[in-house]
Structure 1
Amino acid sequence: LFTRLKRADRILVAGAGGGFDVFAGLPLAVALWEMGKQVHLANLSFSRLDGLDLGVWVEQDVAAIGPETAARDWYFPERSLARWLEVHELPSTVYAFPKVGVSPLRAAYQVLVDRLSIEAIVLVDGGTDILMRGDEAGLGTPEEDMASLAAVHGLDVSEKIVVCLGFGVDAYHGVNHVQVLENLAALDRDGAYLGAFSLPRASRAAELYLDAVAYAQADAPAHPSIVNGSIAAALQGRFGDAHFTTRTSGSELFINPLMALYFAVDADALARRSLYLNRLEGTVLMRQISSIIEGFRAEITPRSPRAFPH
């Protein structure tokens, strides 16, 4: 991953699946900042961006969120991150994209590529369901991930990479993680698997990530991130059914060290392996993507889930 990014000086790290996904890219951004790279952060937003002041909008479907950005929505991960970045004297603008289809989302990405002279895009998934090609036993929550992957796949940028942090989290959305590993093996055969690396607890990147997750939980206590909370718990050495929020009450968790591993793949190769991504071209609304995925799933017989053999 870092070999591929070595040639790029201006890098966009973007949350692919919305919500708090951009936080899962924070350790990577810290490492790249320490390497002297110019790193910008962006996220597909679940917040009510339509309530933002006009001055926040860079162009259509691209909002520049800062620590003081006013909003009508209490749920605003991008502002929580911007506030945390300011506290730590790091670049504190977080760009936000509304939940739209592939065509407007690609145009929004293109705005940032042009304005910021971006040379590499790293799409970040909290979890691993972005690695699903479409015929797995369960796809998790694919709409936002696939919108982001399709949008970036169509851009002319030198480096396009997908990274995942939080292996195992998507089991609670029906993802079979043997099939995740099967997909990674297939990408490796294509020369598209860039490897995995751990996030050491003692590293500055991990320490800042843990602090950012705690800050965001305090900023929005009614809706803490389950994905990032799970990763943070794993980083702190917690294991098994270790709950950190009442949002997981009634579920049996499996917090474990694999959640603190980054998996990296080539974004274009991942897009080419998808069985339905081409159908998303031309979509304008997120609900169109949902309908297309639902229609595709009705046409196929999904692969049977498999259990880990040991």
Structure 2
Amino acid sequence: MTSLHTNPLFSRLADAERVLVAGAGGGFDVYAGLPLALSLLHQGKEVWFANLSFSALAGLPADAWAAPDLAVVTPGTAPHQGYFPERTLARWLRLHGYPSTVYAFPQTGVRPLRDAYRALAELHGIDAVVLVDGGTDILMRGDEAGLGTPEEDMASVAALAGLDGIPTRLVVSVGFGIDAHHGVNHVQVLENIAALERDGAYLGAFSIPRATREGALYLDAVAHAQHHTPERPSIVNGSIAAAVRGSFGDVRFTDRTLGGELFVNPLMSLYFAFDLPGLAARCLYLDRIEDTHLMRQIHSRIAEFREETPTRPPRTFPH
């Protein structure tokens, strides 16, 4: 049992020396783990970055692969490729004097993704992994009114849940409320967090203050990414960054949100932390995707599960 003044997430990571911070859901998800990763780096720990990638990895040369389905991205990787969040992060890391290699996983099924995680863990002797979701759909167990976009997130959860060789496996979710436009009911998110607390898998929540070194660097990294990826800036990290700055309501930072309404609010800047095996144990369909090799298999098996499973009706916040 920890004391109230001790953060349970950092307590779980206190003895870790080599930590992997990995984006669960593709795109710029790895950026959502940046404040946490920087805090660990500033504590003197070795930290590596990885991301399940939406980038065009298939065209990378043979020497860019550390193992099957494990690409090594550096600031100079694929210089003429436009959208490449992992390379953009590598360039920002180099700009600020941090280790600037970011690993990237292509979109695969659970089996090859687990093998790639295993290869990366063995390469660096990883003793802790923090899986990061920008949003909350990683917390959906399967019978909610809407699941958001669960395929990549749950592929990552399943891959790591079956990788017992890493002593500490954690999940953090940041960006509460962002997934509403993907059909996630956030009252059900809170209901799921309460259930995880009862199971002993919820490790509490804490904010990303802009007055901290890590908060300020995160804002800088998001601004850098928006500048260098103007055609597809991250709505998720843009919203989180706006919340960290203290913005509220329908904040506009990209034309990608035209036609919709954002609700940026202080809850978006909170990290919600969980034990990964405990979170995986509550997913109702994880066994169905265990033997998948392709992302489209995950998609179809989740769809089959949804067709067979009664869903909990959505609920509204009390007024």
Are 1:87 and 2:87 counterparts? no
Deviations 1:172-211 (A, max 9, x none): 1000000001000000001110000011110011111011
Aligned twin of 2:242:
233
Aligned twin of 1:98:
106
User: Offset at 1:142?
Assistant: 0.2
In 1, the alpha carbon distance for the partners of 2:32 and 2:46 equals 18
1:289 maps to which of 288, 291, 298: 298
Amino acid in the other structure paired with 2:96: H
Aligned twin of 1:136:
144
Mapped contact 1:52–1:72 kept (Cα < 8 A): no
1:250 maps to which of 241, 255, 259: 259
Query: How high is the TM-score relative to the length of structure 1?
Result: 0.99
Aligned twin of 2:42:
34
Aligned twin of 1:146:
154
Are 1:21 and 2:29 counterparts? yes
In 2, the alpha carbon distance for the partners of 1:219 and 1:286 equals 28
Are 1:224 and 2:196 counterparts? no
In 1, the alpha carbon distance for the partners of 2:311 and 2:302 equals 13
Q: 3-state DSSP class of the match of 1:163?
A: strand
Deviations 1:275-308 (A, max 9, x none): 0001111100000000000000000111011001
1:189 maps to which of 181, 198, 218: 198
1:259 maps to which of 260, 268, 271: 268
Are 1:167 and 2:176 counterparts? yes
Are 1:300 and 2:309 counterparts? yes
In 2, the alpha carbon distance for the partners of 1:201 and 1:86 equals 22
In 2, the alpha carbon distance for the partners of 1:196 and 1:240 equals 22
Mapped contact 1:67–1:86 kept (Cα < 8 A): yes
In 2, the alpha carbon distance for the partners of 1:110 and 1:296 equals 28
Q: Percent identity?
A: 66
2:19 maps to which of 11, 17, 38: 11
User: Offset at 1:20?
Assistant: 0.2
In 2, the alpha carbon distance for the partners of 1:299 and 1:4 equals 38
In 2, the alpha carbon distance for the partners of 1:22 and 1:6 equals 21
Matches within 5 A, 1:24-63: 24-63=32-71
Deviations 1:5-29 (A, max 9, x none): 0011100000000100000000000
In 2, the alpha carbon distance for the partners of 1:72 and 1:12 equals 28
Query: How high is the TM-score relative to the length of structure 2?
Result: 0.96
Amino acid in the other structure paired with 1:113: A
Are 1:155 and 2:163 counterparts? yes
Amino acid in the other structure paired with 1:215: H
Mapped contact 1:51–1:71 kept (Cα < 8 A): no
| Root-mean-square deviation over aligned CA pairs | 0.7
Mapped contact 1:61–1:104 kept (Cα < 8 A): yes
Unaligned runs of 5+ in 2: 1-8
Q: 3-state DSSP class of the match of 1:39?
A: strand
In 1, the alpha carbon distance for the partners of 2:114 and 2:205 equals 28
User: Offset at 1:72?
Assistant: 5.9
Amino acid in the other structure paired with 1:207: A
User: Offset at 1:73?
Assistant: 3.6
1:77 maps to which of 82, 85, 95: 85
Deviations 1:28-61 (A, max 9, x none): 0010011111110000000110011111110110
In 1, the alpha carbon distance for the partners of 2:40 and 2:212 equals 13
Q: Structure 1 residues 52, 71: CA separation in 2 closer, same or farther (over 3 Å shift)?
A: farther
User: Offset at 1:242?
Assistant: 1.1
In 1, the alpha carbon distance for the partners of 2:97 and 2:313 equals 49
User: Offset at 1:85?
Assistant: 0.2
Aligned twin of 1:178:
187
